[in-house]
Amino acid sequence: MGWVNSYPPPKAGPATFQVRDTYNDGPVEMVSGPPPYYSTEPERELPPPPRGTVPMAYEYEQPVSRWNPRSWRKRTWAIIAAVVVVILIVVIVTPVEVAKANRYPDYSRLNYSLSDEYTGTSFFDKFNYFEGYDPAQGFVHYVPRERAAQLNLTYATTDTAVLKVDTSVGPGSNPDASTGRFSVRVESKTQYDRGLFIFDVRHTPYGCGTWPALWLVDPANWPANGEIDVMEAVNQATDGNQMTLHTTDDCKMNAKRIMSGASLNADCYNATNDNAGCGVRSPADSYGSAYNDASGGVTAMEWRDEGIRVWQFRRDGIPPDVTARTPDPSTWGEASADFPNTKCDIGSHFRNQSIIVNIDLCGQYAGGVYAQSGCPSNCTDYVANNPSAFNNAFWEFGGFQVYKAS
């Protein structure tokens, strides 16, 4: 119930009462006069205010807060949307990319048992001798086993096997070496799919014009079945050992790797970088004269679906489990070279591999960098006319063991 003053009030005695402005909460006003009249008739509704008018309490429009979304312009909404997208990228995409960058195969322990062995006087019996000119345009004549024996280029005793370059043929010889020097390339009769390969290497070949290698490949299906270079160097071999994979397309090593060697290239595809492959280089004393002066050592290569890894151990640092023929790579620590399967399907790129040992001369690699090697003359002339320059161009092995995972 309220009051109205629409009707004339009856007379009444003077009175004093208070009136407060109900709209604006104004000051109290003291008024003397008759008391208000309370109607006993039903209250009549006042007519609605004219259109366009607002009651006094709402005549002053309060400003809309900047935090009220209803007041935001399209530009503000666009900025907010962009910020939300950035936040989503940071919160969702970034962790995914970090996880991808940190992916690494599980090189968990495998139980290896001896499967094959190359040792003693029968060392070369397990190899075929490649005969003829070199497939990599080397300046050599690879000779068969009988010719190699005549020239003393391969021989084996109870505890060592040697493969070398000819040092007897000079400019006055008949025949001479004007079309290439005699050398040897042997390929294991057995082909392998995965395994742990232990190579006892006592001496590595080096010298101007040389391109020696200890490697695995399927000779009849290159590059389809891949290539694993375990030990390789050229000329004076002052840069250390190089370990490399060569494959068909879609095999890269731009991923997390755990190794002590220095990566040279990340793409293993043979059609890139002039077939340089994805190489890793070890320190200078891992090959050549410094390596030989320390009596060599053991090079181990593990090939499994998770990846391919190579270790090089000095003669005085060979793990006891290798000597005991119970090898366990999970205890060997950081590898010299690590080729994980993160961006390369190892199982599809590597198959049917033969162990190959050879000493090439000049060719695509040694000949290609000969001018920058500090060696005299040009590669082919030097090789043809300086037989004594190859006195250090020989491999000497204590033996090979091949282990399979059980």
Q: Would you name the residues annotated as active-site residues?
A: 227, 232
The enclosing H or E element of 354 equals strand 354-361
How many CB atoms are located within 10 Å of the residue 344 CB?
A: 23
Report DSSP letters for 18-65, one per residue.
Answer: EE--TTT----EEEEEPPPPPP-SPPPPPPPPPTT---GGGSSPPPPP
User: Is there a contact between 277 and 184 (Cβ–Cβ < 8 Å)?
Assistant: no
Beta strands in 250-296 (DSSP E): 262-263, 278-281
CA distance 370 to 20: 108
Q: From residue 114, give the alpha-carbon distance in Å to each of 188, 191, 197, 362, 405.
A: 17, 15, 10, 37, 9
Residue pointed to by tokens 């029968």: 122
Pairing outcome for strands 140-142 and 181-183: parallel
Contacts of 396 (CB under 8 A, 6+ apart): 160, 161, 162, 201, 202, 203, 296
CA distance 213 to 138: 13
361-365-370-375 Cα dihedral, nearest 10 degrees: -50
